[in-house]
Amino acid sequence: MIGRLLMSWLYPTRVKTKLEQFEAAIAESGEAHEQAQKVASEVAASTIEDRKKIEATRREIRRRSDQRLERQRHRADQEPGLAAAIDALKLLERRH
């Protein structure tokens, strides 16, 4: 019964159109669906690539920060007066 009801609702005469127009509309809908899936896949792929780039950038920033900190520690070992200034800079950096 549900199948008959569904077919009567979908049947082309309900909207007073020819069967060819109805089939063309269904085909167009299928093409639009395929195009939407293709675009969604492309967006997902580019999003994954963007996330990888962001993560690589974060790692590079962390690496540079660690190198800078190591240089600061080395200078502080050589000049004890710099140690307090470096500690103050670290505190300020953590606030931001």
Question: pLDDT tens for residues 1-55?
Answer: 555 555 555 655 555 567 777 778 888 888 888 888 998 888 888 898 899 999 9
For residue 52, which amino acid is it?
K
Q: In sequence order, which residues have a C-beta less than 8 Å from that of residue 18 and are 6 or more positions away?
A: 12
pLDDT for res 3:
55
Residue 86 burial (C-beta neighbours within 10 Å; 0-12, 13-18, 19+) = middle
Q: Do the beta carbons of residue 83 and residue 76 sit within 8 Å?
A: yes
Number of H helices, E strands in the chain: 3, 0
pTM of the complete model beyond 0.95: no
